[in-house]
Structures are given as structure tokens and as C-alpha cells.
């Protein structure tokens, strides 16, 4: 039985188009095992592989992973270096699978500031997958939600957009996610209950799901449970339940 067959019809018919993840808890996962934080990040990358592949199987069109924030540069240099080494290794290992599964790789953030090896691997993977259409995998790298908003505002000024033509649509068109629908569902692991400067504009009406599970332990089964919970929610977008039922 495939994983998708484990989900009921109601859930499969109400799957989110875009799911975003704050992948939290790698360091704590390693600490509980008496291991270095790097072991947690390595285990977390294996969870990424499982969740991305399952999302593709289910037909979820967009997945965004909060991979490295601008604030993460403040971490110990050894850990930061390892994270980018792990990213390069992950891309080399997973690129054939991305191509085979028709998954497009996209980046939210300023990749020009990344180490050369990481930048080169990302640009290569994006080029190789740019025509893929089954799913888009967005990595938020060197990313800041507030800076993204400021960047979009500056672009409006640079483009000389008249004040009366500045709308949600013209603003959104200048975000990293300009060609991608806003997340329907945001999942954060490890028990933290905040957005941490992640896609602040795009998450305005996203359903939020917070779990105590540390990211390396986030399983396909729990992912399914989250999708079932999402399918059972009523998304109102400011309307009343009665209005939705009468539409």
C-alpha cells in the first residue's frame, strides 16, 4: 500500500497546494543523544528527503523549507560551514532525483552572499531543474522576511509604480515567491510557536500547525496526520462560516 493510500479521500481532495516548513530541533535532537549538532543537521537532511518525496507523491505543488536565515550567520563558524557543506552534498546527491521526479528547485533569499561552493551547486541545480513542472521546491536560504518586504518596497520605488497602483498584487509580484501561491499550511517542529521572520507577508492567511516533534523525528505518518488536521479546518479568509456554506 502506498503512502497516499493511507490518507482518506476527504484529505486527498483537500490537500494544500503549498506547504511551508520551519525545520526546527536538529540541535536538540543531537544533544539528547550526546552527539554533536552536526549529527542533528545530517539527520534533518534525511527528513527533508522523505518529506519532499512524499509531497511529490501526494501531488502537493509547492514545498518551501526554511533552510538558513540571515540570523543564522550568528551561529558558530564551524556549524555554519558544516551547514553549507551539507547543502552542497545534499544537492549533489539529490539532483538526479529532482530531475527524475520533475521537481524544480527555487531559492528565496540572497544567494550572492553564500559561500562559492554552495552558490555554484545551487545555480547548477536550478539550471538543471528550471523546466521541471510537477513540483517546486523552494529553499529559503540567507532569508529574512522583513528584508524581503523592504526589498519589494524598494523595487516598487525603482519601478516608479504610481501610489494608486500599489496593491497587494503589485507588491507580491516583487517578492521572492512572485510566481508561487501563498502557503496554505505552515508546519513548525520542535515545540516553538512563532514565525521567526519567515515569509511574513505570504503567511497572512496560512493555517498553522505546531508540533513538539523534533525535525529529524518528523515522520511521514505525522505529516499525514497534519494533512488530515488541515483538511478538517475551515478556511474563512475573513468571512463567517455561514457565508462560506452559502457560497
Catalytic residues: 24, 72
In whole angstroms, what is the distance from residue 218 CA to residue 47 CA? 7
- The residues, ordered by sequence, that sit 6+ positions from 10 with a Cβ below 8 Å of its Cβ are 231
Per-residue exposure over 37-70, b if at least 16 CB sit within 10 Å of its own CB, e if not: bbbbbbbbbebbeebbbbbbebebbbbbbbbbbb
From the list 231, 172, 189, the residue with the least C-alpha distance to 207 is 231
Give the Cα separation of 43 and 49 in Å (integer). 10
Closest by Cα among 202, 222, 197 to 210 = 222
d(CA 208, CA 189): 11
Task: Give 22's contacts (C-beta < 8 A, 6+ positions apart).
Answer: 66, 186, 187, 188, 189, 192, 195, 196, 198
DSSP 8-state class, residue 76: -
d(CA 97, CA 172): 31
176 and 148 Cβ atoms separated by less than 8 Å: yes
Amino acid at each position: 500500500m502506498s503512502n497516499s493510500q493511507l490518507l482518506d479521500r476527504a484529505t486527498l481532495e483537500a490537500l494544500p497546494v503549498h506547504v511551508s516548513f520551519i525545520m526546527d530541533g536538529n540541535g536538540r535532537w543531537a544533544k539528547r543523544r550526546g552527539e554533536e549538532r552536526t549529527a542533528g543537521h545530517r539527520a534533518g537532511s534525511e527528513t527533508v528527503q522523505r518529506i519532499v518525496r512524499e509531497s511529490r507523491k501526494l501531488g502537493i505543488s509547492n514545498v518551501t523549507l526554511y533552510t538558513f536565515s540571515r540570523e543564522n550567520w550568528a551561529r558558530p563558524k564551524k556549524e555554519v560551514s558544516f551547514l553549507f557543506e551539507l547543502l552542497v552534498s545534499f544537492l549533489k546527491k539529490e539532483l538526479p532525483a529532482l530531475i527524475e521526479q520533475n521537481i524544480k528547485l527555487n531559492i528565496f533569499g540572497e544567494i550572492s552572499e553564500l559561500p562559492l561552493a554552495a552558490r555554484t551547486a545551487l545555480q547548477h541545480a536550478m539550471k538543471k531543474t528550471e523546466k521541471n513542472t510537477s513540483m517546486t521546491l523552494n529553499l529559503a536560504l540567507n532569508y529574512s522576511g522583513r528584508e524581503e518586504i523592504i526589498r519589494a518596497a524598494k523595487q516598487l520605488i525603482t519601478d516608479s509604480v504610481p501610489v494608486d497602483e500599489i496593491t497587494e498584487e503589485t507588491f507580491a509580484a516583487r517578492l521572492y515567491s512572485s510566481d508561487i501561491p501563498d502557503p496554505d499550511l505552515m508546519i513548525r517542529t520542535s515545540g516553538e510557536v512563532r514565525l521567526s521572520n519567515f515569509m511574513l507577508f505570504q503567511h497572512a492567511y496560512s493555517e498553522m500547525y505546531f508540533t513538539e516533534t523534533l525535525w529529524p523525528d518528523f515522520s511521514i505518518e505525522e505529516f499525514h496526520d497534519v494533512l488530515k488536521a488541515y483538511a478538517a479546518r475551515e478556511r474563512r479568509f475573513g468571512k463567517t462560516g455561514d457565508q462560506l456554506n452559502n457560497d
